[in-house]
Amino acid sequence: MPGRDRTYVAVVGPSAPTREQERDAHDVGAGLAQRGHVVVCGGRGGVMAAVARGAAEAGGTVVGYLPGTARADANPWVTVALPTGMGDLRNALVVRAGDVVVAVGTSWGTLNEVSLAVSVGTPVVQVGGWDLPSDDRVRRVPDATGALAAVDVLLARP
């Protein structure tokens, strides 16, 4: 079945990002799409919209898990809008859908998603982010280019 062997990368971040975080998220989305990965996100604004726009502009597929019940709430770059009706609890769906999680920026919701990923054993790449305890499950990089390189390394692991 086509697409079953594609890698899904969940990208998380604040709904009110800085311009730098928006730029990084856009670049992450574009880079992931250029590598053939499916981008998974929360489907709405901020980092979610920036990563979706970057991926869509590069011809990629974007899956958005929406907190509400209306597909129309998705940003215009989401390819597949999945309304959950779960509010912020949909964070777990976003994280569990990813083979790797990329966190761009910081917010309490983003920290929740990073901790969920770490607790279930999904590797995390942070662009910026928190100074978390030293752990081989979380890689902190300064920019989008570093994030893409870290994702490449993590996906190449046996």
% of the chain surpassing 90 pLDDT: 77
Tokens representing residue 94 in the block: 């976003």
What 3-state class would DSSP assign to 150?
helix
The domain containing residue 31 runs over which residues?
8-156
pLDDT tens across 84-131, in order? Answer: 999 999 999 999 999 999 999 999 999 999 999 999 999 999 998 888
Q: Which CATH number belongs to the domain containing residue 115 in this structure?
A: 3.40.50.450
Q: What is the pLDDT of residues 50-73, one digit of tens each?
A: 999 999 999 999 999 999 999 999
Does 24 fall in a domain?
Answer: yes
**Dihedral angle of Cα 83, 138, 112, 43, to the nearest 10 degrees:** -20
Q: How far is CA 37 from CA 10, 12, 40, 123, 142, in A?
A: 10, 15, 10, 16, 21
- Tell me if 41 is assigned to some domain: yes
